[in-house]
Structure 1
Protein backbone atom coordinates (compact mmCIF):
# COMPACT_ATOMS: atom_id res chain seq x y z
CA UNK A 1 0.00 0.00 0.00
CA UNK A 2 1.40 3.39 -1.01
CA UNK A 3 1.27 6.40 1.30
CA UNK A 4 -0.96 8.17 -1.21
CA UNK A 5 -3.56 5.39 -0.89
CA UNK A 6 -4.55 6.51 2.61
CA UNK A 7 -7.75 8.53 2.31
CA UNK A 8 -10.72 9.52 4.43
CA UNK A 9 -11.09 9.44 8.20
CA UNK A 10 -8.32 7.80 10.24
CA UNK A 11 -8.92 8.19 14.00
CA UNK A 12 -5.93 8.26 16.38
CA UNK A 13 -7.32 5.30 18.24
CA UNK A 14 -7.51 5.27 22.02
CA UNK A 15 -6.14 2.43 24.14
CA UNK A 16 -8.23 0.98 26.96
CA UNK A 17 -6.55 0.29 30.31
CA UNK A 18 -7.65 -1.49 33.47
CA UNK A 19 -8.05 0.40 36.73
CA UNK A 20 -4.60 -0.92 37.67
CA UNK A 21 -3.05 0.55 34.52
CA UNK A 22 -2.61 -2.59 32.44
CA UNK A 23 -3.68 -2.78 28.79
CA UNK A 24 -7.34 -3.81 28.74
CA UNK A 25 -7.46 -6.05 25.70
CA UNK A 26 -11.22 -6.61 25.62
CA UNK A 27 -11.92 -2.89 25.88
CA UNK A 28 -9.36 -2.03 23.21
CA UNK A 29 -10.93 -4.55 20.84
CA UNK A 30 -14.36 -3.03 21.54
CA UNK A 31 -13.07 0.42 20.60
CA UNK A 32 -11.76 -0.99 17.30
CA UNK A 33 -15.14 -2.54 16.50
CA UNK A 34 -16.98 0.66 17.46
CA UNK A 35 -14.86 2.82 15.16
CA UNK A 36 -14.07 0.66 12.13
CA UNK A 37 -17.51 0.61 10.42
CA UNK A 38 -17.36 4.38 9.97
CA UNK A 39 -13.75 5.06 8.99
CA UNK A 40 -11.06 4.38 6.41
CA UNK A 41 -8.13 3.62 8.72
CA UNK A 42 -6.73 3.62 12.26
CA UNK A 43 -3.75 5.46 13.79
CA UNK A 44 -3.09 3.78 17.18
CA UNK A 45 -0.45 4.38 19.86
CA UNK A 46 -0.25 8.12 19.34
CA UNK A 47 -1.43 10.92 21.61
CA UNK A 48 -4.98 9.62 22.08
CA UNK A 49 -3.64 6.07 22.22
CA UNK A 50 -1.27 6.93 25.09
CA UNK A 51 1.69 5.57 23.14
CA UNK A 52 4.33 7.73 24.87
CA UNK A 53 2.90 6.60 28.23
CA UNK A 54 3.57 2.92 27.51
CA UNK A 55 6.71 0.81 27.57
CA UNK A 56 8.11 -0.56 24.31
CA UNK A 57 6.70 -4.01 25.13
CA UNK A 58 3.27 -2.56 25.89
CA UNK A 59 3.24 -0.58 22.67
CA UNK A 60 3.98 -3.75 20.74
CA UNK A 61 1.16 -5.54 22.54
CA UNK A 62 -1.32 -2.72 21.88
CA UNK A 63 -0.37 -2.64 18.20
CA UNK A 64 -0.77 -6.42 17.93
CA UNK A 65 -4.24 -6.29 19.49
CA UNK A 66 -5.42 -3.47 17.24
CA UNK A 67 -4.03 -4.84 13.98
CA UNK A 68 -5.51 -8.24 14.82
CA UNK A 69 -8.94 -6.83 15.67
CA UNK A 70 -9.02 -4.63 12.57
CA UNK A 71 -8.88 -7.91 10.63
CA UNK A 72 -7.93 -6.14 7.42
CA UNK A 73 -11.18 -4.17 7.37
CA UNK A 74 -9.20 -0.92 7.34
CA UNK A 75 -5.46 -0.26 7.11
CA UNK A 76 -3.57 0.54 10.29
CA UNK A 77 -0.85 3.18 10.61
CA UNK A 78 0.94 2.40 13.88
CA UNK A 79 2.48 5.36 15.65
CA UNK A 80 6.02 4.38 16.63
CA UNK A 81 7.55 7.70 17.66
CA UNK A 82 9.70 7.77 20.79
CA UNK A 83 12.30 10.09 22.25
CA UNK A 84 15.13 8.23 20.51
CA UNK A 85 15.93 6.66 17.16
CA UNK A 86 16.75 3.11 18.30
CA UNK A 87 13.39 2.46 19.97
CA UNK A 88 11.50 4.17 17.15
CA UNK A 89 13.13 1.88 14.60
CA UNK A 90 12.46 -1.18 16.77
CA UNK A 91 8.77 -0.33 17.02
CA UNK A 92 8.56 0.37 13.29
CA UNK A 93 10.05 -3.00 12.38
CA UNK A 94 7.66 -4.69 14.77
CA UNK A 95 4.67 -2.85 13.28
CA UNK A 96 5.69 -3.94 9.79
CA UNK A 97 6.07 -7.55 10.97
CA UNK A 98 2.51 -7.71 12.34
CA UNK A 99 0.85 -6.33 9.24
CA UNK A 100 0.64 -2.58 9.75
CA UNK A 101 0.34 -0.84 6.39
CA UNK A 102 2.40 2.18 7.47
CA UNK A 103 4.02 3.77 10.49
CA UNK A 104 3.92 7.30 11.82
CA UNK A 105 6.38 8.96 14.17
CA UNK A 106 6.37 12.21 16.06
CA UNK A 107 9.66 14.07 16.01
CA UNK A 108 11.95 13.11 18.92
CA UNK A 109 10.83 15.02 21.99
CA UNK A 110 11.95 16.35 25.38
CA UNK A 111 15.29 17.64 24.08
CA UNK A 112 15.63 20.39 21.48
CA UNK A 113 17.09 19.05 18.25
CA UNK A 114 18.59 20.64 15.17
CA UNK A 115 17.04 20.15 11.75
CA UNK A 116 19.95 17.86 10.86
CA UNK A 117 19.30 15.75 13.98
CA UNK A 118 15.67 15.26 13.01
CA UNK A 119 16.63 14.57 9.40
CA UNK A 120 19.00 11.75 10.40
CA UNK A 121 16.38 10.30 12.76
CA UNK A 122 13.75 10.03 10.02
CA UNK A 123 16.27 8.99 7.39
CA UNK A 124 17.13 5.96 9.52
CA UNK A 125 13.46 5.21 10.12
CA UNK A 126 12.63 5.41 6.41
CA UNK A 127 15.51 3.07 5.59
CA UNK A 128 14.55 0.57 8.30
CA UNK A 129 11.17 -0.50 6.87
CA UNK A 130 9.54 -1.23 3.53
CA UNK A 131 6.19 0.35 4.42
CA UNK A 132 5.40 4.09 4.20
CA UNK A 133 6.61 6.39 6.95
CA UNK A 134 4.54 9.38 8.04
CA UNK A 135 6.16 12.21 9.97
CA UNK A 136 3.84 13.31 12.78
CA UNK A 137 4.29 17.08 13.11
CA UNK A 138 3.01 18.05 16.55
CA UNK A 139 5.26 20.89 17.73
CA UNK A 140 3.17 21.50 20.85
CA UNK A 141 3.85 17.95 22.07
CA UNK A 142 7.39 17.47 20.79
CA UNK A 143 8.85 20.94 21.20
CA UNK A 144 10.52 20.45 17.82
CA UNK A 145 8.65 22.12 14.94
CA UNK A 146 9.22 20.85 11.41
CA UNK A 147 10.10 23.31 8.66
CA UNK A 148 9.01 23.03 5.04
CA UNK A 149 12.68 22.74 4.14
CA UNK A 150 13.05 19.65 6.34
CA UNK A 151 9.95 18.07 4.78
CA UNK A 152 11.41 18.56 1.32
CA UNK A 153 14.73 17.01 2.39
CA UNK A 154 12.91 14.00 3.84
CA UNK A 155 10.63 13.69 0.81
CA UNK A 156 13.77 13.23 -1.28
CA UNK A 157 14.74 10.38 1.08
CA UNK A 158 11.41 8.62 0.55
CA UNK A 159 9.15 10.03 3.27
CA UNK A 160 5.64 8.78 2.55
CA UNK A 161 3.60 11.49 4.19
CA UNK A 162 2.99 13.92 7.00
CA UNK A 163 0.38 14.03 9.74
CA UNK A 164 0.12 17.77 10.34
CA UNK A 165 -1.13 18.50 13.86
CA UNK A 166 0.22 22.03 13.98
CA UNK A 167 -3.40 23.30 14.08
CA UNK A 168 -2.22 26.00 11.68
CA UNK A 169 -3.95 26.13 8.30
CA UNK A 170 -1.37 28.63 7.01
CA UNK A 171 1.40 26.18 7.90
CA UNK A 172 -0.56 23.46 6.11
CA UNK A 173 -0.78 25.59 2.96
CA UNK A 174 2.95 26.33 3.12
CA UNK A 175 3.71 22.62 3.41
CA UNK A 176 1.47 21.84 0.43
CA UNK A 177 3.26 24.43 -1.68
CA UNK A 178 6.72 23.24 -0.62
CA UNK A 179 5.88 19.62 -1.46
CA UNK A 180 4.31 20.19 -4.87
CA UNK A 181 7.16 18.37 -6.59
CA UNK A 182 6.23 15.23 -4.61
CA UNK A 183 2.63 14.49 -5.72
CA UNK A 184 2.61 11.04 -4.07
CA UNK A 185 3.51 12.41 -0.63
CA UNK A 186 0.35 12.35 1.48
CA UNK A 187 -0.14 15.46 3.63
CA UNK A 188 -2.79 14.42 6.17
CA UNK A 189 -4.49 16.94 8.42
CA UNK A 190 -4.26 15.96 12.08
CA UNK A 191 -7.42 17.53 13.49
CA UNK A 192 -11.13 17.79 12.78
CA UNK A 193 -11.05 21.46 13.83
CA UNK A 194 -9.92 22.65 10.39
CA UNK A 195 -10.89 19.60 8.37
CA UNK A 196 -12.96 21.40 5.74
CA UNK A 197 -10.31 24.06 5.14
CA UNK A 198 -7.59 21.42 4.85
CA UNK A 199 -9.60 19.28 2.44
CA UNK A 200 -10.26 22.39 0.36
CA UNK A 201 -6.48 22.90 0.35
CA UNK A 202 -5.93 19.41 -1.05
CA UNK A 203 -5.91 17.02 1.92
CA UNK A 204 -7.23 13.55 1.18
CA UNK A 205 -7.23 12.18 4.74
CA UNK A 206 -7.72 13.38 8.30
CA UNK A 207 -6.58 11.93 11.62
CA UNK A 208 -9.40 13.11 13.87
CA UNK A 209 -9.48 12.59 17.62
CA UNK A 210 -13.23 13.00 17.66
CA UNK A 211 -13.42 9.89 15.51
CA UNK A 212 -12.83 7.89 18.69
CA UNK A 213 -16.11 8.91 20.27
CA UNK A 214 -18.28 10.06 17.35
CA UNK A 215 -16.96 8.21 14.29
CA UNK A 216 -20.50 8.29 12.90
CA UNK A 217 -20.57 12.09 13.02
CA UNK A 218 -17.13 12.43 11.42
CA UNK A 219 -18.24 9.99 8.74
CA UNK A 220 -21.20 12.27 7.94
CA UNK A 221 -18.82 15.21 7.68
CA UNK A 222 -16.56 13.36 5.24
CA UNK A 223 -19.48 12.10 3.15
CA UNK A 224 -20.94 15.61 2.93
CA UNK A 225 -17.57 16.83 1.68
CA UNK A 226 -17.39 14.11 -0.97
CA UNK A 227 -20.97 14.88 -2.04
CA UNK A 228 -20.19 18.58 -2.45
CA UNK A 229 -23.10 19.46 -0.14
CA UNK A 230 -21.53 22.66 1.16
CA UNK A 231 -24.42 23.91 3.29
CA UNK A 232 -24.83 20.53 4.98
CA UNK A 233 -21.05 20.25 5.29
CA UNK A 234 -20.72 23.52 7.18
CA UNK A 235 -23.63 22.60 9.47
CA UNK A 236 -21.92 19.33 10.38
CA UNK A 237 -18.56 21.08 10.82
CA UNK A 238 -20.21 23.40 13.36
CA UNK A 239 -21.66 20.39 15.17
CA UNK A 240 -18.23 18.74 15.17
CA UNK A 241 -16.67 21.84 16.70
CA UNK A 242 -19.37 21.92 19.38
CA UNK A 243 -18.67 18.29 20.34
CA UNK A 244 -14.95 18.99 20.25
CA UNK A 245 -15.44 21.68 22.87
CA UNK A 246 -17.30 19.20 25.07
CA UNK A 247 -14.32 16.82 24.94
CA UNK A 248 -12.33 19.60 26.60
CA UNK A 249 -14.55 19.88 29.69
CA UNK A 250 -11.75 17.87 31.30
CA UNK A 251 -8.42 16.60 29.96
CA UNK A 252 -9.26 15.34 26.48
CA UNK A 253 -8.32 11.65 26.77
CA UNK A 254 -10.14 10.98 30.08
CA UNK A 255 -13.14 12.95 28.80
CA UNK A 256 -13.22 10.77 25.69
CA UNK A 257 -13.15 7.67 27.90
CA UNK A 258 -16.19 9.11 29.70
CA UNK A 259 -18.01 9.77 26.42
CA UNK A 260 -17.42 6.21 25.23
CA UNK A 261 -18.86 4.99 28.52
CA UNK A 262 -21.91 7.22 27.98
CA UNK A 263 -22.28 5.73 24.50
CA UNK A 264 -22.25 2.20 25.92
CA UNK A 265 -18.67 1.27 25.01
CA UNK A 266 -16.51 -0.31 27.71
CA UNK A 267 -13.28 1.58 27.08
CA UNK A 268 -11.84 0.92 30.50
CA UNK A 269 -9.80 3.65 32.13
CA UNK A 270 -7.25 6.23 31.04
CA UNK A 271 -3.72 5.55 32.23
CA UNK A 272 -2.15 7.41 35.13
CA UNK A 273 -1.23 10.17 35.51
CA UNK A 274 -4.58 10.72 33.74
CA UNK A 275 -7.44 10.08 36.16
CA UNK A 276 -11.10 9.49 35.25
CA UNK A 277 -13.14 12.66 35.04
CA UNK A 278 -15.08 13.35 38.26
CA UNK A 279 -18.84 12.64 38.36
CA UNK A 280 -19.74 16.31 38.08
CA UNK A 281 -17.72 16.64 34.87
CA UNK A 282 -19.23 13.45 33.46
CA UNK A 283 -22.71 14.86 34.17
CA UNK A 284 -21.80 18.13 32.48
CA UNK A 285 -20.57 16.21 29.43
CA UNK A 286 -23.71 14.08 29.37
CA UNK A 287 -26.01 17.09 29.62
CA UNK A 288 -24.17 18.91 26.84
CA UNK A 289 -24.27 15.92 24.49
CA UNK A 290 -27.95 15.36 25.23
CA UNK A 291 -28.52 19.03 24.44
CA UNK A 292 -27.07 18.40 20.98
CA UNK A 293 -29.22 15.30 20.55
CA UNK A 294 -26.16 13.05 20.52
CA UNK A 295 -27.07 10.81 23.47
Structure 2
Protein backbone atom coordinates (compact mmCIF):
# COMPACT_ATOMS: atom_id res chain seq x y z
CA UNK A 1 0.00 0.00 0.00
CA UNK A 2 1.45 3.32 -1.10
CA UNK A 3 0.37 6.47 0.70
CA UNK A 4 0.34 9.46 -1.65
CA UNK A 5 -1.97 12.00 -3.25
CA UNK A 6 -4.92 13.76 -1.68
CA UNK A 7 -6.44 12.42 1.52
CA UNK A 8 -9.26 14.43 3.09
CA UNK A 9 -8.96 15.21 6.79
CA UNK A 10 -12.40 13.72 7.34
CA UNK A 11 -14.98 15.61 9.40
CA UNK A 12 -16.93 13.57 11.95
CA UNK A 13 -20.68 14.16 11.39
CA UNK A 14 -22.73 14.53 14.56
CA UNK A 15 -26.42 14.70 15.40
CA UNK A 16 -27.91 17.64 17.31
CA UNK A 17 -27.67 15.36 20.37
CA UNK A 18 -23.86 15.16 19.88
CA UNK A 19 -23.78 11.48 18.90
CA UNK A 20 -22.02 10.16 15.79
CA UNK A 21 -24.27 10.48 12.73
CA UNK A 22 -23.52 7.18 11.02
CA UNK A 23 -25.62 7.86 7.94
CA UNK A 24 -23.94 11.23 7.24
CA UNK A 25 -20.50 9.76 7.96
CA UNK A 26 -21.10 7.06 5.36
CA UNK A 27 -22.48 9.66 2.92
CA UNK A 28 -19.45 11.95 3.30
CA UNK A 29 -16.98 9.05 3.03
CA UNK A 30 -18.65 7.76 -0.12
CA UNK A 31 -18.89 11.21 -1.69
CA UNK A 32 -15.15 11.72 -1.22
CA UNK A 33 -14.17 8.33 -2.64
CA UNK A 34 -16.44 8.88 -5.64
CA UNK A 35 -14.70 12.24 -6.16
CA UNK A 36 -11.43 10.34 -6.60
CA UNK A 37 -9.49 10.92 -3.37
CA UNK A 38 -6.47 8.69 -2.78
CA UNK A 39 -7.17 7.85 0.86
CA UNK A 40 -9.30 8.77 3.87
CA UNK A 41 -7.73 10.30 6.97
CA UNK A 42 -10.16 9.93 9.90
CA UNK A 43 -9.95 11.14 13.50
CA UNK A 44 -7.51 13.96 12.85
CA UNK A 45 -7.83 17.51 14.17
CA UNK A 46 -10.73 18.37 11.85
CA UNK A 47 -12.28 15.03 12.84
CA UNK A 48 -12.29 16.32 16.45
CA UNK A 49 -10.38 13.26 17.69
CA UNK A 50 -9.47 14.95 20.98
CA UNK A 51 -13.14 15.29 21.97
CA UNK A 52 -14.17 11.64 21.60
CA UNK A 53 -13.72 8.82 24.06
CA UNK A 54 -12.11 5.53 23.05
CA UNK A 55 -15.37 3.72 22.26
CA UNK A 56 -16.59 6.61 20.11
CA UNK A 57 -13.28 6.63 18.22
CA UNK A 58 -13.50 2.89 17.55
CA UNK A 59 -17.10 3.29 16.37
CA UNK A 60 -16.18 6.13 13.99
CA UNK A 61 -13.25 4.13 12.60
CA UNK A 62 -15.40 1.01 12.15
CA UNK A 63 -18.01 2.93 10.16
CA UNK A 64 -15.38 4.54 7.91
CA UNK A 65 -13.46 1.28 7.34
CA UNK A 66 -16.73 -0.53 6.53
CA UNK A 67 -17.91 2.15 4.11
CA UNK A 68 -14.56 2.45 2.34
CA UNK A 69 -14.51 -1.34 1.94
CA UNK A 70 -10.95 -1.48 0.63
CA UNK A 71 -11.43 1.09 -2.12
CA UNK A 72 -8.69 3.41 -0.79
CA UNK A 73 -6.34 3.28 2.21
CA UNK A 74 -7.86 4.36 5.54
CA UNK A 75 -5.60 6.19 8.00
CA UNK A 76 -6.89 6.49 11.55
CA UNK A 77 -5.63 8.99 14.12
CA UNK A 78 -4.67 7.23 17.35
CA UNK A 79 -2.58 9.96 18.98
CA UNK A 80 -2.84 10.85 22.64
CA UNK A 81 -0.76 12.00 25.57
CA UNK A 82 0.41 8.75 27.12
CA UNK A 83 2.41 6.23 25.12
CA UNK A 84 0.39 3.40 26.65
CA UNK A 85 -2.93 4.99 25.62
CA UNK A 86 -1.74 5.39 22.02
CA UNK A 87 -0.51 1.79 21.85
CA UNK A 88 -3.83 0.44 23.16
CA UNK A 89 -5.90 2.46 20.70
CA UNK A 90 -3.53 1.63 17.83
CA UNK A 91 -3.95 -2.09 18.51
CA UNK A 92 -7.73 -1.75 18.46
CA UNK A 93 -7.64 0.14 15.17
CA UNK A 94 -5.33 -2.51 13.69
CA UNK A 95 -7.78 -5.21 14.83
CA UNK A 96 -10.74 -3.57 13.06
CA UNK A 97 -8.93 -3.16 9.74
CA UNK A 98 -7.23 0.25 9.60
CA UNK A 99 -4.61 0.42 6.83
CA UNK A 100 -2.32 2.90 8.59
CA UNK A 101 -2.16 5.03 11.72
CA UNK A 102 -1.60 8.73 12.16
CA UNK A 103 -0.01 9.66 15.47
CA UNK A 104 0.10 13.27 16.63
CA UNK A 105 2.81 14.40 19.04
CA UNK A 106 1.67 14.47 22.68
CA UNK A 107 -0.12 17.67 23.69
CA UNK A 108 -0.58 19.48 27.02
CA UNK A 109 2.70 17.88 28.13
CA UNK A 110 5.71 19.15 26.14
CA UNK A 111 8.15 16.27 25.77
CA UNK A 112 11.75 16.78 24.70
CA UNK A 113 12.85 15.56 21.27
CA UNK A 114 14.52 12.56 22.96
CA UNK A 115 11.31 11.69 24.81
CA UNK A 116 9.19 11.97 21.69
CA UNK A 117 11.58 9.70 19.77
CA UNK A 118 11.10 6.99 22.40
CA UNK A 119 7.32 7.63 22.34
CA UNK A 120 7.07 7.02 18.60
CA UNK A 121 9.53 4.12 18.59
CA UNK A 122 7.52 2.29 21.26
CA UNK A 123 4.25 2.84 19.38
CA UNK A 124 5.76 1.63 16.09
CA UNK A 125 7.12 -1.49 17.80
CA UNK A 126 3.64 -2.44 19.01
CA UNK A 127 1.88 -2.34 15.64
CA UNK A 128 2.53 -3.91 12.27
CA UNK A 129 0.75 -1.01 10.55
CA UNK A 130 2.49 1.90 8.80
CA UNK A 131 2.68 4.97 11.07
CA UNK A 132 2.42 8.55 9.83
CA UNK A 133 3.85 11.16 12.21
CA UNK A 134 1.69 14.25 12.69
CA UNK A 135 3.23 17.64 13.50
CA UNK A 136 0.91 20.52 14.46
CA UNK A 137 2.76 22.78 16.92
CA UNK A 138 0.03 25.44 17.13
CA UNK A 139 -2.22 22.88 18.82
CA UNK A 140 0.32 20.75 20.70
CA UNK A 141 2.90 23.26 21.89
CA UNK A 142 5.80 21.31 20.39
CA UNK A 143 7.33 20.70 16.98
CA UNK A 144 9.24 17.71 15.64
CA UNK A 145 12.74 18.87 14.72
CA UNK A 146 14.09 17.75 11.31
CA UNK A 147 16.82 15.69 13.06
CA UNK A 148 14.12 13.93 15.09
CA UNK A 149 12.16 13.10 11.95
CA UNK A 150 15.35 11.82 10.27
CA UNK A 151 15.95 9.50 13.22
CA UNK A 152 12.33 8.27 13.28
CA UNK A 153 12.44 7.68 9.51
CA UNK A 154 14.91 4.86 10.28
CA UNK A 155 12.10 2.92 12.01
CA UNK A 156 10.79 0.48 9.34
CA UNK A 157 7.07 1.15 9.80
CA UNK A 158 7.28 4.91 10.39
CA UNK A 159 6.58 5.80 6.78
CA UNK A 160 5.98 9.54 6.66
CA UNK A 161 4.85 12.77 8.27
CA UNK A 162 1.93 15.13 7.95
CA UNK A 163 3.16 18.64 8.70
CA UNK A 164 0.54 21.19 9.75
CA UNK A 165 2.97 23.76 11.09
CA UNK A 166 2.11 26.17 8.27
CA UNK A 167 5.86 26.70 7.91
CA UNK A 168 7.09 25.75 4.45
CA UNK A 169 10.74 25.81 5.62
CA UNK A 170 9.84 23.03 8.02
CA UNK A 171 8.37 20.91 5.22
CA UNK A 172 11.45 21.51 3.05
CA UNK A 173 13.75 20.42 5.86
CA UNK A 174 11.71 17.24 6.48
CA UNK A 175 12.01 16.40 2.77
CA UNK A 176 15.75 17.17 2.80
CA UNK A 177 16.67 15.08 5.86
CA UNK A 178 14.68 12.02 4.71
CA UNK A 179 15.92 11.98 1.11
CA UNK A 180 16.83 8.50 -0.02
CA UNK A 181 14.75 6.93 2.75
CA UNK A 182 11.42 5.21 2.24
CA UNK A 183 9.63 8.15 3.82
CA UNK A 184 6.88 10.49 2.57
CA UNK A 185 6.12 14.10 3.47
CA UNK A 186 2.54 15.37 3.29
CA UNK A 187 1.29 18.94 3.49
CA UNK A 188 -1.15 19.35 6.36
CA UNK A 189 -1.72 23.04 5.61
CA UNK A 190 -3.93 23.40 2.54
CA UNK A 191 -2.29 26.64 1.33
CA UNK A 192 1.01 24.75 0.94
CA UNK A 193 -0.14 21.75 -1.11
CA UNK A 194 1.42 22.77 -4.42
CA UNK A 195 4.60 24.12 -2.81
CA UNK A 196 5.03 20.82 -0.96
CA UNK A 197 4.58 18.79 -4.15
CA UNK A 198 7.11 20.93 -6.00
CA UNK A 199 9.61 20.50 -3.16
CA UNK A 200 9.38 16.71 -3.25
CA UNK A 201 6.39 15.96 -1.02
CA UNK A 202 3.95 13.27 -2.09
CA UNK A 203 0.56 14.81 -1.35
CA UNK A 204 -1.66 16.40 1.27
CA UNK A 205 -4.03 15.65 4.08
CA UNK A 206 -6.51 18.37 3.22
CA UNK A 207 -9.44 19.64 5.29
CA UNK A 208 -10.82 21.66 2.36
CA UNK A 209 -11.33 18.39 0.47
CA UNK A 210 -14.39 17.74 2.67
CA UNK A 211 -16.27 20.35 0.63
CA UNK A 212 -14.33 20.89 -2.59
CA UNK A 213 -12.47 17.62 -3.27
CA UNK A 214 -12.45 18.23 -7.03
CA UNK A 215 -10.42 21.43 -6.63
CA UNK A 216 -7.93 19.86 -4.21
CA UNK A 217 -7.54 16.86 -6.53
CA UNK A 218 -6.98 19.24 -9.46
CA UNK A 219 -3.90 20.65 -7.70
CA UNK A 220 -2.41 17.15 -7.54
CA UNK A 221 -3.44 15.89 -10.98
CA UNK A 222 -2.34 19.06 -12.77
CA UNK A 223 1.01 18.99 -10.97
CA UNK A 224 1.42 15.30 -11.80
CA UNK A 225 0.76 16.02 -15.49
CA UNK A 226 3.16 18.96 -15.60
CA UNK A 227 0.39 21.56 -15.87
CA UNK A 228 1.76 24.09 -13.39
CA UNK A 229 -0.64 26.82 -14.43
CA UNK A 230 -3.66 24.58 -13.80
CA UNK A 231 -2.20 23.49 -10.47
CA UNK A 232 -1.63 27.13 -9.42
CA UNK A 233 -5.19 28.04 -10.41
CA UNK A 234 -6.64 25.18 -8.39
CA UNK A 235 -4.46 26.08 -5.40
CA UNK A 236 -5.73 29.66 -5.52
CA UNK A 237 -9.35 28.43 -5.59
CA UNK A 238 -9.01 27.02 -2.06
CA UNK A 239 -8.59 30.51 -0.61
CA UNK A 240 -12.25 31.58 -0.17
CA UNK A 241 -13.03 28.44 1.87
CA UNK A 242 -9.83 28.70 3.91
CA UNK A 243 -10.52 32.38 4.61
CA UNK A 244 -13.75 31.49 6.43
CA UNK A 245 -11.95 29.24 8.96
CA UNK A 246 -11.22 32.35 11.06
CA UNK A 247 -14.92 32.85 11.85
CA UNK A 248 -15.24 30.02 14.36
CA UNK A 249 -13.31 27.61 16.51
CA UNK A 250 -11.99 24.73 14.41
CA UNK A 251 -13.85 22.99 12.72
CA UNK A 252 -17.06 25.05 13.12
CA UNK A 253 -16.75 27.02 9.86
CA UNK A 254 -15.84 23.98 7.76
CA UNK A 255 -18.67 21.91 9.22
CA UNK A 256 -21.15 24.69 8.44
CA UNK A 257 -19.77 25.04 4.90
CA UNK A 258 -20.13 21.31 4.20
CA UNK A 259 -23.62 21.33 5.70
CA UNK A 260 -24.73 24.25 3.50
CA UNK A 261 -23.12 22.52 0.53
CA UNK A 262 -25.39 19.53 1.14
CA UNK A 263 -23.98 16.88 3.50
CA UNK A 264 -25.57 17.04 6.99
CA UNK A 265 -22.38 16.88 9.08
CA UNK A 266 -24.14 18.66 11.94
CA UNK A 267 -22.62 20.74 14.72
CA UNK A 268 -19.11 20.56 16.16
CA UNK A 269 -18.56 18.59 19.37
CA UNK A 270 -19.03 20.72 22.47
CA UNK A 271 -17.46 22.87 23.83
CA UNK A 272 -17.07 24.17 20.24
CA UNK A 273 -20.18 26.11 19.24
CA UNK A 274 -22.02 26.01 15.95
CA UNK A 275 -21.32 28.98 13.69
CA UNK A 276 -23.81 31.86 13.88
CA UNK A 277 -24.14 35.59 13.24
CA UNK A 278 -21.66 37.30 10.93
CA UNK A 279 -19.53 34.18 10.59
CA UNK A 280 -22.48 32.18 9.34
CA UNK A 281 -23.32 34.87 6.77
CA UNK A 282 -19.72 34.90 5.51
CA UNK A 283 -19.77 31.12 5.08
CA UNK A 284 -23.09 31.28 3.20
CA UNK A 285 -21.65 33.90 0.84
CA UNK A 286 -18.53 31.80 0.28
CA UNK A 287 -20.55 28.68 -0.61
CA UNK A 288 -22.72 30.79 -2.93
CA UNK A 289 -19.55 32.08 -4.60
CA UNK A 290 -18.35 28.55 -5.37
CA UNK A 291 -21.80 27.64 -6.70
CA UNK A 292 -21.76 30.64 -9.06
CA UNK A 293 -18.42 29.45 -10.43
CA UNK A 294 -19.99 25.99 -10.90
CA UNK A 295 -17.24 24.59 -8.71
CA UNK A 296 -19.75 22.76 -6.51
What range describes the TM-score normalised by the shorter chain of this pair? Answer: over 0.9
Q: Which residue of 1 aligns with 2:101?
A: 103
Q: Distance in 1 between matches of 2:114 and 2:82?
A: 14
Segments ≥4 residues shifted beyond 3 Å: none
Q: Distance in 2 between matches of 1:221 and 1:187?
A: 16
Q: Which residue of 2 aligns with 1:177?
A: 176
**Unaligned residue ranges in structure 1 (runs of 5+):** none
Q: Equivalent residues in 2 for 1:194-273 (5 A)?
A: 194-273=192-271
Q: Which residue of 1 aligns with 2:21?
A: 24
Contact 1:189 1:195 survives alignment (8 Å): yes
Q: Distance in 2 between matches of 1:181 and 1:72?
A: 30
**CA 1:157–1:219 in 2, change beyond 3 Å: closer, same or farther?**
closer
Write the deviation string for residues 144-169 of structure 1: whole angstroms up to 9, x where unpaired. 21111111221222221111111111
How many residues get paired? 291
Contact 1:30 1:267 survives alignment (8 Å): no
* Deviation, structure 1 residue 181: 3.8
**TM, length-normalised to structure 2:** 0.94
* Deviation, structure 1 residue 193: 0.6
Q: Which residue of 2 aligns with 1:164?
A: 163
Contact 2:240 2:286 survives alignment (8 Å): no
Q: Distance in 2 between matches of 1:135 and 1:240?
A: 25
* Deviation, structure 1 residue 15: 0.5
Instruction: Specify which of 18, 21, 31 is matched with residue 34 of structure 1.
Output: 31
Q: Which residue of 1 aligns with 2:3?
A: 6
SS in 2 for 1:10: strand
Q: Which residue of 2 aligns with 1:117?
A: 115
Greater relative contact order structure (CA < 8 Å, 6+ sep): 1
* Deviation, structure 1 residue 22: 1.5
**TM, length-normalised to structure 1:** 0.94
Instruction: Provide the aligned C-alpha RMSD in A.
Output: 1.5
Q: Distance in 2 between matches of 1:66 and 1:279?
A: 33
SS in 2 for 1:146: coil
